[in-house]
Structure 1
Amino acid sequence: MDYRKLLHLPQKWTHRVVNSHAAWLGAAASLPFMGVLTAVAVTQGNSPDIKPPVQQHVVEALSLPPLQQTAGNNVRYWRDEAVQRGDTIARLLNRLGVRDSDATGFIYSSPLSKNLLKLKTGATLSVELNDQGELFGLRFLNDDENGESVLVAIEKVGDSWQASADAPQTEAMQTVRSVEVRTSASGALAQADVPVEVRTQLGEIFSDQFELSSLKRGDKISLVYETLLYNGTPLTTGNILAVEIERSGSNYQAYYFAHDSESGAYYGADGKPLKKGFNLQPVSGARISSGFGMRFHPVLHALRMHQGIDYAAGTGTPILAPSDATVDTVAQQSGYGNVVILRHNDKLTTLYAHMSRFEAGLKAGSKVKAGQVIGYVGSTGRSTGPHLHMEVRINGQAVDPATTALPTRVLSDSERLAFSRQSVKLAANLKLLRDIPVSVAQLD
């Protein structure tokens, strides 16, 4: 027997174990079991006479510091409540736990009209209360008899109640929206919560080039428009400031440019007018004295949504039809005074108010030609002096006459420079919208 081979066996075996991956994996897998065996061995080696300490439960009564009570009547807070279908002021106050008979009694005996006190579903009623359910005031937005937004406020001053319905103080904010057409442009804009006033205005900006309804699936619309806020709540909208439409691979842009403090129009990126408008103004050579939008009402001494434009002109100045039309209305209407409404096509109508008198023989159904006299400037209705109030309505929705119907003038050299500077900033906003995923902007 070769004993030298036996001497080499341990060395070979050790070498194989060290260089074998399977051996090392087996050793690693056995470590937890070795730990268990060790723990068992240690535990079995302990004396059975040693017992764990007994837990003790200690209960001690603690005295709380005295609670400082605040007089509930001195703590007031405002609470907003959404108006639900069928809600009245009394029903909503009852839901809020208000049990103030004096307050509810005054509300329905106040000088405000019943229509002003009717709540609109989805509106917000703000109430000032205390913890005892005592009412100190309430506010909500509503429309007056002229369709203008007012803030209805009923407040307790001292020991008496007061009621008012005045135009709210608002602040302007730029709002951006970007949508992709899936079924229709109007549907995509509505889904993105774009107000109907903006949708109507948008449809007219490019109407000389294409109809908004012609947009197809995959086309995109990016918008920058003004929103007027009251206490953070959208109240109404202003002009579209910039818009970009990607239609069938072509790109269309429009930018609003103010000619003065009262009027403006839309121009392409090159500064050229986008709309031709009517060939004539209703009052030849007159200037626009009050533009479309929120304005200070000279009679009511408060801000009002001015749904048209005013021309400064003397009593008796002829009022002309700006284009061929059919007479829709010849009547006397409350704040409008003597008013004529012309229908120019299936969706477009124009209104002329405060006339001193109508043109002889003018009646509903009559056909008029561009430049034909329809009446004369006056001061009838709610007016402080002679002027012409003109409105343009698209499918019954008031839009800015200066941007939809009136002749659009060519910009001067200085205006083109100002337009270029302004449009660069708005173009940056449109580019930002272009770079944002449409699904994000559409859900914003």
Structure 2
Amino acid sequence: MDYRKLLHIPQKCAGRLVNHHLSWLGVAACLPLLGTATAFAVANGAQETEPARIVQQKVVEQLSLPPFRFADSQTRYWRDESIKRGDTIARVLNRVGVRDDETRRLLYGDNAQAKNLLKLKVGATLSIQTNDSGELFGLRFLQDDDNGEQVLVVLEKRDGKWQASNDTVAAESVETVRSINIKRNAASELATANVPADIRGQLAEVFADQFDLSSLGAGDRINLVYETMVYAGSAIASGNLLAVSIERQGKLYQAYYFAHDSESGAYYDAAGKPVKKGFSRQPVAGARISSGFGLRKHPILRTLRMHTGIDYAASAGTPISAPADGVVVKAARESGYGNVAMIKHNAKLTTLYAHMRAFGKGVKPGLKVKAGDIIGYVGSTGRSTGAHLHFEVRINDQPVDPATNALPTPGLGRTQLAQFNAKRVQLSAKLDLLQNIPVNVAQID
């Protein structure tokens, strides 16, 4: 046996390990373990040193907040606040940041018009002009008067004193749209979407001959285009419902407003056919409408007023007939309306007749009348510029345009049909846009 060969074995193995690439990989893998072991050893040695003791002490100090001051901004802006049940005017002004001293100067100063603020009803809208400092500069609101109409009251602070504005009132009409996906109840969701009460009343009647608005359920949809009357940058009233499409149980219903003249109009479907039948007759046969429904400048008081009915131009003594069956619920003399009668036609619909010279024979509360029965005669009693009939239609006590909600709807001639189609194309584009939006639309002006 050659022992010299045994001496060379360790040398050969060491050389193979050094030259083989797998050997170096093994060494690299062991390095973290060696580091851990070293760190563990150091840590064990450090445990012998006792940590320093930390002393905690609780300190309580009363700090005073700096005095609060409104931002020094002179920018004025308008805000609309709805009068809620239990509200006072002071509470409403406080909600928009008006200072208490400003409120006191308004309510308890020498200003007779400010007292009308205390008469605002629940649901009324108060427009308030203020700034970030809580100063109050102006107020606007529609106030009921003894004539059953609403007058626009404009208050401005000039040189530190409150007074009614004598500026010329110029309200403009802008188109407003709403789109509502019905989830539960149409009436409540229209209100939540801030659709005005009079527009909701018109909407409920447009398709009344075909279905009840309350029959809409989950998955149905309402798209609206209507007029908003704007004064000094703030909405003060609503005009006509211009176009509506309702998707109900998979079926589409559409209606478009067409103005017959400057004072009246009616609703027609996409083909130009009347949507609603209306009453069988009008209260004054053959008379023209001299003043339509909506905002107007009062001919006597020269103030901007919400005309809650329509006026028929007719000579004194012209008979006034009931346009549909009903029961007389009022026949009395009032300061603004003069001789006024009211007929209830069903659970939600009533009509009113004002400025009459005299009542028809036997007309008094409780009398049942048929369509065509004479209930009075055209006159000029009360606050009136001349002989005419003021005629109102109210749905759930909310005044609506009689021309679109109750009166007979005339057919369209060839020229009118061409005009109708031109307007319908414009309104249809807006309804189609709303239909393609998958979410509710609250406001687009």
* Bin of the TM-score, shorter chain as denominator length: 0.7 to 0.9
Give the aligned residue type for 1:143: Q
SS at match of 1:301: coil
* Distance of aligned partners of 1:188 and 1:376 in 2 relative to their CA distance in 1, 3 Å threshold: same
What are the within-5 Å matches in structure 2 for residues 30-109 of structure 1? 78=76, 86-88=87-89, 96=99, 98=101, 108-109=109-110
2:326·2:369 contact (CA, 8 Å) conserved in 1?
yes
Q: Give SS of 2:357's match.
A: strand
RMSD of aligned C-alpha atoms? 3.8
Tell me, in whole angstroms, the C-alpha distance in 1 between the residues paired with 2:132 and 2:245.
Answer: 50
Deviates more, 1:266-275 or 1:363-372: 363-372
For the 8 Å contact 2:155–2:162, the answer to whether it is kept is no
Instruction: Show structure 1 runs of 5+ residues with no match.
Output: 34-71
Q: Which amino acid aligns with 1:255?
A: Y
* Separation (CA, whole Å) in 2 of partners of 1:17 and 1:149: 100
Cα separation, 1, equivalents of 2:393 and 2:92: 40
Structure-1 residue corresponding to 2:152: 150
Q: 1:404 to 1:79 in 2, by over 3 A?
A: closer
1:170 counterpart residue number: 171
Cα separation, 2, equivalents of 1:305 and 1:143: 10
> Structure 1 pair 167/322, CA: closer, same or farther in 2 (3 Å)?
farther
Q: 1:199 to 1:163 in 2, by over 3 A?
A: closer
Q: Measure, in 2, the Cα distance between the counterparts of 1:120 and 1:351.
A: 22
Q: Provide Cα deviations, 1:46-97, integer angstroms capped at 9, x if missing partner.
A: xxxxxxxxxxxxxxxxxxxxxxxxxx9xx96646676885444599589615
1:198, distance to aligned residue in structure 2 (A):
1.2
Q: In structure 2, what residue type is equivalent to 1:356?
A: R
- 3-state SS in 1 of match to 2:113: coil
2 CA distance for matches of 1:165 and 1:365? 45
Deviations 1:337-394 (A, max 9, x none): 1111111111111111111111122111111111111111111111111111100011
1:213 equivalent in structure 2: 214
Determine helix, strand or coil for the equivalent of 1:115. helix
For residues 209 and 422 of structure 1, the distance between their equivalents in structure 2, rounded to whole angstroms, comes to 24
The alpha-carbon deviation at position 190 of structure 1 amounts to 1.7
Residues 130/267 of structure 1: CA separation in 2 closer, same or farther (3 Å cut): closer
**What CA distance in whole angstroms lies between the structure 2 residues aligned with 1:348 and 1:293?**
19
The residue aligned with 1:368 is: 369
For residues 201 and 431 of structure 2, the distance between their equivalents in structure 1, rounded to whole angstroms, comes to: 20
Q: Is the 8 A contact 2:77 2:129 kept in 1?
A: yes
Residue 191 of structure 1: aligned partner: 192
1:304-319 map, 5 Å = 304-319=305-320
8 Å Cα contact 1:89-1:119 kept in structure 2? no
Q: Which residue of 2 aligns with 1:409?
A: 410
Q: 2:98·2:136 contact (CA, 8 Å) conserved in 1?
A: no
Instruction: Determine the C-alpha separation between the residues in 1 that align with 2:296 and 2:127.
Output: 25
CA contact (8 A) 1:151 1:166 kept: no
**Is the Cα contact below 8 Å between 1:221 and 1:245 reproduced in 2?**
yes
Write the distance in 2 (CA, Å) between the matches of 1:256 and 1:287: 19
> Structure 1 321/173 Cα, relative in aligned 2: closer, same or farther at 3 Å?
same
CA distance, structure 1, for counterparts of residue 362 and residue 76 of structure 2:
58
TM score, norm. by length of structure 2: 0.76
* Aligned twin of 2:9: none
Task: Give CA-to-partner distance per residue, 1:219-265, whole Å, 9 cap, x none.
Answer: 11111111122343322111111111111111111111111111110
State the Cα deviation string for residues 115-142 of structure 1 (Å, max 9, x = none): 34556678556457898x9x78532324
Describe how 1:169-318 pairs up with structure 2 within 5 A: 169-318=170-319
Corresponding residue SS for 1:375: strand
The corresponding residue for 1:60 is none
Mapped contact 1:202–1:240 kept (Cα < 8 A): yes
Deviation for aligned residue 1:321: 0.9
Output the CA distance in 2 between the equivalents of 1:285 and 1:345.
26
Counterpart-to-counterpart distance in 2, 1:179 and 1:129:
34
- Tell me if structure 1 keeps the 8 A contact 2:298–2:305: yes
CA distance in 1, matches of 2:419, 2:271: 13
User: What CA distance in whole angstroms lies between the structure 2 residues aligned with 1:368 and 1:188?
Assistant: 37
Alpha-carbon distance in structure 2 between the residues aligned to 1:197 and 1:372: 29
Q: 2:441 corresponds to which letter in structure 1?
A: A
Provide the secondary structure at the position in 1 that maps to 2:261: coil
What SS does the aligned partner of 2:423 have? Answer: helix
Q: Cα distance 1:406–1:125, how it changes in 2: closer, same or farther (>3 A)?
A: closer
* Superposition deviation, residue 111 in structure 1: 3.7
Return closer, same or farther for 1:138/1:217 CA change in 2, 3 Å cut-off: closer
CA distance in 1: counterparts of 2:294 and 2:233, whole angstroms: 19
1:112 deviates by 2.9
- Aligned position for 2:393: 392
Corresponding letter in the other structure for 2:141: L
Gap regions ≥5 residues in structure 2: 6-11, 36-71
Residue in structure 2 matched with residue 38 of structure 1 by the alignment: none
Give the 3-state SS of the residue equivalent to 2:180 in structure 1. Answer: strand
Matched AA of 1:199 = R
The range that moved more, 222-231 or 358-367, is 222-231
Structure 1 partner of 2:441: 441
Distance 2:324 2:238 in 1: 28
Give the superposition deviation at 1:168: 5.0
Distance 2:166 2:176 in 1: 28
Q: Is contact 1:173–1:227 with CA below 8 Å preserved after alignment?
A: yes
Q: 1:372 to 1:12 in 2, by over 3 A?
A: farther
Q: Does the C-alpha gap of structure 1 residues 242 and 361 become closer, same or farther in structure 2, counting only changes over 3 Å?
A: same
Among all aligned residue pairs of Structure 1 and Structure 2, give the percentage whose two residues are the same amino acid. Answer: 49
> Per the alignment, do residues 88 and 273 of structure 1 end up closer, same or farther by CA in structure 2, a change over 3 Å counting?
closer
Contact 2:102 2:136 in 1 (8 A): no
TM-score, structure 1 normalization: 0.76
Within-5 A mapping of 1:342-357: 342-357=343-358
The aligned amino acid for 1:371 is: G
Tell me how far apart the structure 1 counterparts of residues 103 and 172 of structure 2 sit (CA, whole Å): 34
Could you tell me whether the CA contact under 8 Å between 1:144 and 1:150 is conserved in 2?
A: no
1:383 paired to 2:384: yes
Gap change, CA 1:230 and 1:237, over 3 Å in 2? same
The residue type paired with residue 351 of structure 1 is L
The one-letter amino acid paired with 2:340 is V
Aligned residues: 388
Cα offsets for 1:389-432 (capped at 9, x unmatched): 10001110111111111110110011111111111111111111
